[in-house]
Homo-oligomer: A and B are copies of this chain.
Amino acid sequence: MIESKIKSVIRDVPDFPKPGIVFKDITPIMMSPDLSNEMLDHLVGMYEGKGVEAIAGIESRGFLFGYPLAMRLGVPFILIRKKGKLPYEKISCDYDLEYGTATIEIHTDAIGHKKRVLIHDDLLATGGSAEAAARLIEKAGGEVYGFNFLVELEFLNGRQKLESYSDNILNLVGY
């Protein structure tokens, strides 16, 4: 029900960010406050009372639902950012892109005593950034509770990279 509503607004943009890729544009979700609130309520229902102690969102689309979900669950929100953006003491993790590598970072004090961290992002594709986020959480002293994605591109099998951290991997919409 929620899946079909979300799919009806997600927009396919061909040849972005490069020829041959069909990009799933989620910005029409943000243009609908009713759908946004319904999705947030749905996410809250998926995790409320289930032992999530913090949520980590991956910059920057992972901030969109990650922080509101953390606020509604009453748990801290941890920012996982691209290299050079976090100002305080931090831990880094590199991961492979199709060409070259990227780096994400977390503040050393981001985890505190809240150990069981749900990693959230808008999209699971090949799983590179989510796997790097899981490594970061563990390096910072946390435990990976699970993974949540608004959209999963199932044909790319990204979840295979994540299952050694947690088999709790959920999406709202799969393609």
Contact = CB atoms under 8 A, between A and B. Distances in A.
Given A25-B88, A84-B17, A31 B76 contact: yes
A52 to B, nearest CB: 12
A25 B79 CA distance: 12
Given A60-B60, A71-B68, A110-B27, A87 B32 contact: no
A77 B16 contact: no
Contact of A27 (B32, B34, B107): B107
Interface string A84-114: 1011100000000000000000010010100
Interface in A10-26: 11, 13, 16-17, 23, 25
Contact of A67 (B23, B30, B75): B30
A37 interface: yes
Interface of A: 11, 13, 16-17, 23, 25, 27, 30-34, 36-37, 40, 59-60, 63-65, 67-68, 70-71, 73-79, 81, 84, 86-88, 107, 110, 112
Identify whether the interface residues of A are mostly helix, strand, loop, or mixed.
mixed
A162 B81 CA distance: 29
Given A63-B63, A63-B64, A27 B71 contact: no
